[in-house]
Amino acid sequence: MSQTYKAMPFTVTTHHDKVINKNEPWENHPAYDTTEMRFCIVSTDTGEVLDDAQGYGYKTAQKAYAGYSYKNRDKSEDKERLAKKRHIEK
- pLDDT, tens digit, 9 for 90 and up, residues 26-72: 888 899 999 999 999 999 999 999 999 998 999 999 999 999 999 98
The answer for residues whose C-beta is within 8 angstroms of residue 27's C-beta and 6 or more apart is 19, 21
CA angle 55, 44, 60 (to 5 degrees): 45
Does the global pTM surpass 0.85?
no
CA–CA gap between residue 54 and residue 2 (Å, rounded): 23
- On whether the CB atoms of residues 23 and 4 are closer than 8 A, the answer is no
